[in-house]
A and B are shown apart, each in its own frame.
Chain A
Amino acid sequence: MLALQGDFKEHAAMLRQIGADPVEVRRAEQLDGLDGLIIPGGESTTIGKLMVSYELLEPLRKLIESGRPVWGTCAGMIVLAKDLGGLRQPLVGALDVRVRRNAFGRQLDSFETDIPMPEVGDEPVHAVFIRAPLVESVGEGVEVLGTLEDGTIVAVRQGNLLATSFHPELTGDSRFHLYFLQMVDAETETAAVSS
């Protein structure tokens, strides 16, 4: 997982629980040999600036082009997006969505709720939103995995890219991490067959 800033240790703990072997990535050369990548929650402006200073943007785009699954939570969703509706900050820009930062307001508007997410499991996912972004619009080929009751889009997938406004790493429910590992396993198998 990308360990520039944010709650990457919580993601690592979840991954270990379900049998994966996470490593922390702070420099481009550490991306070599990864089966997938998680970009954690944190401050998207900080993560973006560190990605520029340590020349991670291009290698990340290549990793995504190569088909490796990449999942962004909260700040991670923001840096994956193509469009922030006019806000200028460094982005990987691979996910064809328009994202609005701090979309629900300030910290006092942070909240928890349950979201039906049939792709991930039968029971709704309990989700925590912290100064969270939302997806305002999606391009072609972007599948909506979850919305709030009012239709606000908070989880999407586009091929090997996964993005959530909320933090499955903080709620002790490993189903989203299992879903991501399935994406990773499927990609690893495809890569093995084609080579």
Chain B
Amino acid sequence: MVTTQKSTELTKRGLAQQLKGGVIMDVVTAEQARIAEDAGAVAVMALERVPADIRAQGGVARMSDPALIEEIINAVTIPVMAKARIGHFVEAQILEALGVDYIDESEVLTPADERHHVNKHEFRVPFVCGCRDLGEALRRVGEGASMLRTKGEAGTGNVVEAVRHARAVYGEIRRLSCMPVDELMAYAKDIQAPYELVKEVAREGRLPVVNFAAGGVATPADAALMMQLGVNGVFVGSGIFKSGDPSRRAKAIVEATTHFQDARVLAEVSKGLGEPMVGIEIDTIPREQLMAVRGW
């Protein structure tokens, strides 16, 4: 008798495997979703406001209107992701019911729970979560995340935080890879990560799930920088549709992510892209408005 199983760990993590080497773009309308798909995005993130606008407008940022998400789902053939607030498991239930392909439990929205994230094992839909270091990454995997993204600082057009977080995660993995087994428990305690997952990372020399970069990627060079640092792909939020020529910039970032080691291609695709989004110096942002520190 043949058994068929849906929504297994393999299918959830496997979709992230298919997205590797690609660009996931924030879109706020069906029209933008079509532009993203035409430019070669591997998936779109459906939301009401891009992080730059959330930052500018302030207030509580919540899950997007289901009608908008549905409209975007119907507009494209590529996977559609949507964001739920940290710890807001009912927003996640609603997004699952809508049939989104991935949920981003995201620090870009205002957290709904200041202590707990969603128990993602309970869901059939896979989740992607943000991380700033290996401990945070493995806590999210422990809760059932099927994909990770380094957080960066969303809506700034400034890649410095994305670099900091990617260097932290991959540096810690490199340290773990040559650590004697008898030191792993103390290390797990130090970084507040589940011991079994720490052992797995030490053994395999890599994260258990796919990891993309996010937060502040605004140019083809930014995307290639993150790829060379070791991420598996990139999320571009405000960087595309807050720039002068979104379609052209989107296509250039897609090509830069594929040819991330080929400086000739990077030079070619970076030419004449028009105005990038206006960037923000991280030091000028009041501490309580930083998004990356949300997540526990």
With both beta carbons as reference points, the residue of chain A lying nearest to B17 in the complex is identified as: A7
B14 with A167: CB separation less than 8 A: yes
Interchain CB contact (< 8 A) of A42 among B3, B18, B102: B18
A43 with B14: CB separation less than 8 A: no
Interchain CB contact (< 8 A) of A7 among B4, B18, B39, B255: B18
* B-side interface size class: 35 or more
Given contacts A42-B18, A106-B101, contact A49 B40 (CB under 8 A): yes
Which of B22, B39, B262 is the most central at the interface, judged by chain A CB atoms within 10 Å of its CB?
A: B22
A contact residues around B38 at 8 Å (CB): 49
B258 with A131: CB separation less than 8 A: no
In the assembly, what is the distance between CA of A10 and CA of B3, in Å?
25
Interchain CB contact (< 8 A) of A102 among B8, B39, B77: B77
A54 to chain B, nearest CB (A): 8
B40 with A130: CB separation less than 8 A: no
A contact residues around B221 at 8 Å (CB): none
- Residue-wise interface mask of A (57-100) relative to B, using a CB-CB cutoff of 8 A (1 in contact, 0 not): 00000000000000000110000000000010000000000000
Interchain CB contact (< 8 A) of B18 among A41, A87, A112, A114: A41
A contact residues around B262 at 8 Å (CB): 26
Interchain CB contact (< 8 A) of B21 among A5, A87, A101, A131: A5
With both beta carbons as reference points, the residue of chain B lying nearest to A107 in the complex is identified as: B101
Interchain CB contact (< 8 A) of B7 among A87, A102, A110: A110
B contact residues around A114 at 8 Å (CB): 2-3
B79 with A131: CB separation less than 8 A: yes
* B124 interface residue per 8 A CB criterion: yes
* A194 interface residue per 8 A CB criterion: no
A contact residues around B21 at 8 Å (CB): 3-6, 8, 42
B181 to chain A, nearest CB (A): 24
Which of A46, A53, A102, A114 is the most central at the interface, judged by chain B CB atoms within 10 Å of its CB?
A: A46
B contact residues around A142 at 8 Å (CB): none
* A158 interface residue per 8 A CB criterion: no
A contact residues around B14 at 8 Å (CB): 110, 128, 130, 167, 170
Interchain CB contact (< 8 A) of B79 among A74, A107, A149: A107
- Residue-wise interface mask of B (95-108) relative to A, using a CB-CB cutoff of 8 A (1 in contact, 0 not): 01001111000000
Given contacts A7-B20, A101-B77, A108-B124, contact A149 B15 (CB under 8 A): no
With both beta carbons as reference points, the residue of chain B lying nearest to A115 in the complex is identified as: B2
* B46 interface residue per 8 A CB criterion: no
A112 with B11: CB separation less than 8 A: yes
A46 with B18: CB separation less than 8 A: no
Give 24 pairs: A residue, B residue, CB < 8 Å, sorted on A.
A5-B257, A5-B258, A6-B18, A7-B17, A7-B20, A26-B262, A42-B18, A42-B19, A42-B42, A43-B43, A43-B79, A46-B41, A50-B40, A75-B18, A106-B79, A108-B99, A109-B6, A111-B5, A112-B8, A113-B2, A128-B11, A130-B14, A131-B101, A167-B17
* Additional A-B contact list (5), CB under 8 Å, known A5-B22, A26-B259, A42-B22: A5-B20, A42-B19, A45-B77, A46-B254, A108-B125
